[in-house]
Structures are given as C-alpha cells and as structure tokens.
Amino acid sequence: MESADVLKIDALRLLRGKREILRGVQLAAHRGELLALMGLSGGGKTTVLRCITALEPFDAGSIALEGLVLHPGGTASRAVMRRLRRQVGMVFQFPSLFEHMTAIENVTLAPLHVNRESKGDAERRAMDLLASLGVGHRANALPRELSGGEAQRVAIARAMAMDPPLLLMDEPTASLDPARRGELGETLVRLKSGGRTLLITTHDDDFARAFADRVVILAEGEVVEEGPPRAVLTNPKHPATRALLAHE
Amino acid sequence: MLLVRRCPFLILLAVLPAVPALHAAPPPLRWGGDAEGGAPYVEADPNDPSRVRGFDVEVAGEIARGLGRRAEFVQVAFNSIDQSVERGDFEIGMSGVEDTPARRAAHAVTIPYYEFHEVLTVRAADGDRFRTLADLRGHRVGTLGATIAYEILEGQRVELVSYDDDVHPYEDLQQGRLDAVLLDNIIAARRVRRIPGLFIEPLPVATGHYIAVLAHDNTALRDRIDDVLRARMRDGTLERIDRKWGIWDRYQQPFFASVLSGKTSAAAQPAAPQPRKLVLAYIPLLLRASVVTVILSCAAMALAIFVGIGIASGRVYGNLAVRAALTTYVEVVRGTPVLLQLFVLYYGLSVVIRLPAFLAALLGLGLNYAAYESEIYRGALDAVPRGQLEAARILGLTEGQVLRFVRGPQAFRLALAPMTNDFVALLKDSSLVSVITVVELTKQTQIFATNIGSWVVPGLLCAALYLALSLPLSRLARTLEVRWKAPTS
C-alpha cells in the first residue's frame, strides 16, 4: 500500500450462491482524489461499496484502509469496525434519511451519540453543513417534505457531519437533472479539498469527464480499464467501456 | 255400557293410548341443570358419561313420570338457568336452584323439595377461631356467585370472593387463599370428604330451600308439578331418593310436613327490594367493577408491551436458540385459549406458587397479549427500511443505538394503531378473569342480572360502560394512524 493510498482493494471476490458478482477486483484510491467507479448496471459497482463499508462480507481478497484491513467472511473485530466507521462515510443512492427526524436531526444524530458532541456544537456544525450544501432553509423539514435533490444533499451533510477521510457515494447523479448534476459536481470538488478522498459510482460519463480525477471501469465483476477520464472515456480500449459510452 | 253399545268405536278410542304405533308419544319434559355442579345434584354418570345422575336427576325423573312424560336433560350453566328457562330452552330448571324472593318475583317456582343450610367451612386449625360470620370480619370468604350465600356475604364486612363453581372455593380454602367458604351443607359435606384439613362449623348461618324454576307464565305446568311433588313427599319417594344420595337428615321430615301442611311456601328471605332500588344500588358496584376492569386492562397492557418488546427484539436480534424459544412461546400462547392459560396460572400452578387472583389475572392477560404484541412489534421492526439501518450503522451507531434512535421509534409509530386496537380487545377480554374470582365489569353485571332476574338493564349499563372506555381508545387509534402515517419510502 503506497502511503498516498487511502484505500486498496486486492483480488476482491464475492459470490451470491453460485454467481460470482466480483471476480478479483483490484482498486486503489489516492488521498484527495475524486475517483469514479463506472460500469453498466449490474456490473458490481454498488457491491464494491458495500464491501468497503462491511455491509456485506466477501469471499476472498482483502480491503485495506489506513490502519485496518478487512478480511473475507466479515469477521472484523469491534475495534476494527469502530475505526472503519470513523474512516468511511457513505451516501446511498436512495438517501435513506431517517423518516421520523427532521433534516437537522438526521445530521446531528451521529455527532451527538457517536462523537458525544454537545447539542449546541452539533447543531451549529449541522446548520453550517446544510447551508453550505444549499439546504439550510430546509433544516426543520421532514424527509417526506424534501425533493429528491434536497434529500440527497441532506444525506451528504449527514455523512459529512462525521468528517470521514473517505466518502463513498452510490450513483449520486442518478436522480438529478443536468443543472443539478453540475451543482453536485462542484460540491464534490469542494468536499475533496483538504485531502478528503471521494469514491463515487456512476454511469454518467459526462459527469466523470467533468469532475473525476480518475475513472475505473468495472465490467462483470472485474476492473477492465482505468486512468484519467479524458483518456479512458475519449479513447476506450475495452469493449465494456465502449458499451458503456454507447449506452449513454 | 249404554254408551259403549251405542258407540262401539269409543272402546277403540279408549285403548288407543296404549298402542304406541297409532298414538304419538307425549313430548319429553326438557329440564335444565348444570352437570358441572356435580354430585349429589347432577353429575355425568361415570359408567356412561353421556347420561347424568344425581338426586336432582331422580326428582326430575319423578316429576316427568308424574306428568306422564319422559325426562330429557339439557345442560346449562348454573348462572344461566333462570334466563334459559325464561327463553324456553327447557321447561323446568333444577340443580340446587334456590328459593329466593327475586326468583319468585321474576319466574314461576315450584314448592320447595329440599331444605338445606348455609354453613361455614374453615381450615381445621381455624375451627375455634371462625365460628360465625362475625368472626370473619375483614377476612376472605368465598362462595358461588348468584346464590343466597353470595347475598348473605354481600351484607357482611368480609372480603367476598366469588366463584363460578363449588369445587375451587374449597381448594383455595385449603391452600390459604380464603379463610372460609359459605355454601350449602350438602356441598360442604361432599367437599370436606375429598379435601383434607377442612372443618364445617356446626352452627348454620341460614336456611334455604331448593325449588324448580319455570318460565314466568308457565304457572299451569308449575301447579301440576307441585301436585306431583306433594304426592312424592307423601308416598316416601323423595325420602328414598334423598337417602339414596346420602342427603336425608333430621331437618327433612319436619320440612316435608310443613310443606304438605302449606306452611312453607314463601321464601324464608326478606321480601325482594324494588327493581328500581336494586338498579340504583348496583350502579356504584358496576362503576367500581369498571375501575377493576380499567386497572387490570392498563396493567396487563403495560406488561404485554414490555414483554412483547423483549420477545420481538429477541426474535429479530437473538441467536438461533433464543429465536426458537421465543417462537415456541408465541405459538403456544396464541394457539391455546386464554381461558385455559388463566386456569393453569391460578389453579394449575397453585401447587408451586399461590398467586393472588388479581396478580394471576394480570399475568395471564399480560403474558397472553405479549405474544400478540410481539408479533406486531416484530412486523413493525421488519418494516423499517433496511437502507436506514445501514445508513445508521455506517455513521458509527451501535446496534443498540440503531434500535433506540432509528428502528425503535419508527417501529413504534407503525405499531401504535394496531396496539391501540389490541388494547380495546384486551379491555373486553378482561371479562374472562372472572373465572379466577376477579369481579370485574362483566362479572358484576352477571351478578346484577341474576339478582334482578333480567339482562336488559344490566346489559345496557354494562355495554355503555365498555363503550365509554373503548370508544376514546378507538378514536385515539384512528388519530394516531392519520398523524403518523407509515413512511412512504
């Protein structure tokens, strides 16, 4: 693991029944970069994120983060899990906000009960985060009262409130119109300043071209191509990459 | 003879009744009694449990024979004999039916055919201590509901415990749940023979008589039955029956004599109070009984919620052994009647632990409803979207915190409306605990109805009280359902 790598995935394999979902995924993310994990639906992108967050156990390989390694079988100790939770944040494709809490309560829950911050501090930071994401005025709204884009930004604020060095986002552009995608891209660029690493899954090549530092193409459970977005997406070498671009 | 000669077919008519093929037999005399009351009144015949035997059975047989009919037994709960005879389920009711002013006022009753005494039974060790009712001031005294003994005890400063049968009071007396039982000497003598350590006080508390009860307007049949009973007293048949069942005592001969001379016809008790007065007298009792219903229901529901949450959490989070044990509990409790569970808790467990009646009722209802509540909570816990749970875990919340802050509160909102519905059901099911001597609203209504001989007023009052308790709850359930609609995503 190079010192600049905050995440290194080695020969990651995962089976569901007899189907091999991930077939030896090899992947590294460097500090401070925005890495786009691309591929057609069903290629295993989301599964990779779920393995990194230990939501799903894998069958072979390893996932190394700064100071901790996840092994097959999902047998991480409590101490490892605690450290993992401090290092990795995640924003789901469907924001999965806590339906019974207002936007700001969603954001302050973990700071209050995991970090044991004071209520005043947690709320002040949460308001700053919501405001910086353009949803400060929705702080007291319930999730069901938010639009799709607003809910996503509240979910980003919720993840950012724990200040994770590595932030994973699953298909953040999927439910946004083009104008909103641009705004989101700029937000992500801002988030990575200060050394935070972002790993997002997407099949939106325009978005990747505009904002990603590097892209990794995943097809049928394997990394088939990777490099700077302009190079990979302008001059695709692998048939899967070409299919992805044609699909768009 | 002239007639015969002129109309020979009259001879034929005269012999017709003797030819069964040509003449329809008279309808059987349907008589109602409670075989659960047991010997010597009415009990299932050990040799053929489809038949009944007992001294009441034989008296009914003699009555039927005297009327030229065949006796046919109809099983009826002791407490319902009066109501059933009035609605025509059978023509006469008898199995230790007592002669009371209320019964005389509401129904047609026969002359008495047996004289009994209300006697106190105590534990042998208390033989000298509790000789009379006055000695039992502040103590627990049990008896059968809706009887003369019950009415006598109502007027005393004792803690009255009402039963639906005449076996359990004596068992509870032996086990120390009661300090005395007041019931008919026949019953006492029989129970004391079977249950060791009990003693019957020699001084009778009161004297009463058994009669047969008929529908209010059936006085014609009643008068014919009275004739039959008098004839059987005169010819010694009743004495023979009483002796056969071991209940002939020194009081019976003078009693028969006084009946035959027409002296003993009115009930020995004071005149029945006016119905309106009785209704007014019962209203405070009904209100007090509804307080019992409310306290019992609230406490049982609190227990059901507490235990239900535990079971649901165990079934969602527990390991295989815990899940299997809890699933078994839920299935057993849901698959057996709550009535049975109450009996087992109160009487079955009494060998090991002697639960007070209210506590047994509370535990029985609470633990029963816990099984149903746990299923609601389990469903509600499962209904909280998995994405939210994963989001919470990734934020670093422990499983306990996820349950407390994310899963629990949302599941609670989903569960609240069905829970409120269950509470309404529990409120009504609480009436079942009368089988273990807790007098709640329904039981008090039943006593009320038996005493005034009608279900109309008591039934309406009782229904009004239940509605007053349950309607606000139903309304609350609807309001909560609207306010906390299930999350859409």
Helix (H, G, I), strand (E, B) or coil at B216: coil
Compute how many other C-beta atoms are within 10 angstroms of the C-beta atom of residue B144.
24
Q: How far apart are CA A197 and CA A195, in angstroms?
A: 6
Q: What pLDDT score does B4 carry?
A: 42
Q: Residue with structure tokens 């319930």?
A: A142
CATH H-level superfamily of B275-483? MetI-like (1.10.3720.10)
- Flag whether A105 is in a domain: no
ipTM exceeds 0.90, yes or no: yes
Quick one: pLDDT at residue B294? 93
Mutate to test the interface with B, among A46, A51, A82, A96 (most CBs of B within 10 A): A96
- A83 contact B CB<8A: no
SS3 B347: coil
Hey, what amino acid is at A75? T
Mutation site, A47, A99, A163, interface B, largest B CB count within 10 A: A99
User: Could you tell me the pTM of the whole model?
Assistant: 0.71
Residues of B in contact with A92 (CB under 8 A): 387, 390-391
| Structural domain total, chain A | 1
In a domain, A68, yes or no: yes
pLDDT score, position A247: 59
Query: Domain B22-112+211-260: which topology?
Result: D-Maltodextrin-Binding Protein; domain 2 (3.40.190)
- Counted across chains A and B, CB pairs separated by less than 8 A come out at 70
Contact B396 A88 (CB under 8 A): no
- Round to whole Å and give the CA distance between A133 and B298: 49
Domain assignment present for A158:
no
Interchain contact A159–B (C-beta under 8 A): yes
Q: How many C-beta atoms lie closer than 10 Å to residue B164's C-beta?
A: 18
Residues of A within 8 A of B395 (CB-CB) are: 85, 89, 109-110, 114, 158-159, 162
Closest CB from B390, B405, B487 relative to A55: B390
- A53 and B394 within 8 Å at the Cβ level: the answer is yes
Structure tokens at B458: 């008591």
The phi, psi pair for B303, rounded to 5°, reads -65, -45
Which residue type does A43 have? G
Residues of B in contact with A98 (CB under 8 A): 388, 391-392, 405-406, 410
Sheet holding A5-16, edge to edge: A19-30, A5-16, A60-65, A68-70
Amino acid B487: pLDDT: 45
Q: Which position has the higher pLDDT, B439 or A151?
A: A151
How many angstroms separate the CA of residue A234 from the nearest CA in chain B? Answer: 36
Which residues does B93 contact at the CB level (< 8 Å), separation at least 6? B31, B32, B33, B76, B81, B82, B84, B85, B212, B213, B214
Q: Is residue A148 part of a domain?
A: no
CB-closest option in B390, B405, B413 to A109: B405
Average pLDDT over residues A199-220: 91
Q: What is the pLDDT of residue B273?
A: 54
CA distance B390 to chain A (A): 7
Residue A225: both structure tokens together: 């191509």
- Quote the pLDDT of residue B486: 47
State the DSSP string of chain A: --TTEEEEEEEEEEEETTEEEEEEEEEEEETT-EEEEE--TTSSHHHHHHHHTTSS--SEEEEEETTEEE-TTS---HHHHHHHHHHEEEE-SS----TTS-HHHHHHHHHHHTS---HHHHHHHHHHHHHHTT-GGGTT--GGGS-HHHHHHHHHHHHHTT--SEEEEESTTTT--HHHHHHHHHHHHHHHTTS-EEEEEE--HHHHHHH-SEEEEEETTEEEEEE-HHHHHHS--SHHHHHHHHH-
Find chain A residues with C-beta within 8 A of B405's C-beta. 98, 109, 113
Q: Which residues contact B76 (CB under 8 A, 6 or more apart)?
A: B32, B33, B34, B84, B89, B90, B93
Q: Which of residues 196-215 of A touch B (CB under 8 A)?
A: none
Chain A residues touching B391 at Cβ < 8 A: 90, 92, 96-98, 155, 158
Tokens of B145: 């509901």
Q: Which residues pair with B122 in a beta bridge?
A: B199
How far apart, in Å, are the Cα atoms of B150 and each of B100, B154, B162, B194?
12, 6, 8, 23
- CA nearest to A48, candidates A84, A19, A14: A14
Residue B350, pLDDT score? 77
Q: What are phi and psi of B42, to 5 degrees?
A: -140, 125
Q: Report the 10 Å Cβ neighbour count for B457.
A: 17
Q: Which residue's entry shows tokens 């001294």?
A: B55
The SS3 of residue B181 is strand
Residue B397: its chain A contacts at CB < 8 A? 109-110, 113-114
B36 burial via Cβ count (<10 Å: 0-12, 13-18, 19+): middle
B410 contacts in chain A (CB < 8 Å)? 98-100
Taking the CA of residue B393 and the nearest CA in chain A, the distance in Å comes to 8
With CB atoms and an 8 Å threshold, state whether A110 touches B395: yes
Give per-residue pLDDT as tens, A26-84. 999 999 999 999 988 888 899 999 999 999 999 999 999 988 999 998 888 888 999 99
Residue with the two structure tokens 């972002």: A198
Given A98, A100, A113, which is nearest B401 (Cβ)?
A113
Task: Tell me which chain A residue has its CA closest to the CA of residue B408.
Answer: A100
The pLDDT of residue A242: 85
Residue limits of CATH 3.40.190.10 in chain B = 22-112+211-260, 116-208
Nearest to B397 among A88, A92, A114 (CB): A114
- DSSP three-state, residue B177: coil
pLDDT of residue B210: 95
pLDDT score recorded for residue B1 = 40
Whether chain B has a CB inside 8 Å of the CB on A180: the answer is: no
Superfamily of domain B116-208, CATH level 4? Periplasmic binding protein-like II (3.40.190.10)
Q: Which residues pair with A223 in a beta bridge?
A: A218
**Percent share of chain A, pLDDT over 90:** 62
Q: What is the CA radius of gyration of chain A?
A: 18
Distance from CA of A186 to the nearest CA of B (A): 24
Residues B160, B163, B167, B171: is their CA dihedral positive or negative? negative
Minimal Cα distance from B391: which residue of A?
Answer: A96
Give the CATH number for residue A72.
Answer: 3.40.50.300
Q: Which domain holds residue A43?
A: 5-94+166-247
Task: Give the three-class secondary structure for B44.
Answer: strand
- Is residue B342 a contact partner of residue B432, using CB atoms and an 8 Å limit? yes
DSSP B259: H
Assigned domain for A65 exists: yes
Residues of chain B with pLDDT under 70: 1-23, 37, 264-276, 451, 453, 484-489
What whole-number distance in Å separates Cα of residue B41 and Cα of residue B37?
7
What does the pLDDT look like over B164-207, one tens digit per residue? Answer: 888 889 999 998 999 999 999 999 999 999 899 999 999 899 99
Consecutive H or E run containing B214 = strand B213-214
Q: With an 8 Å Cβ cutoff, is A86 touching chain B?
A: yes
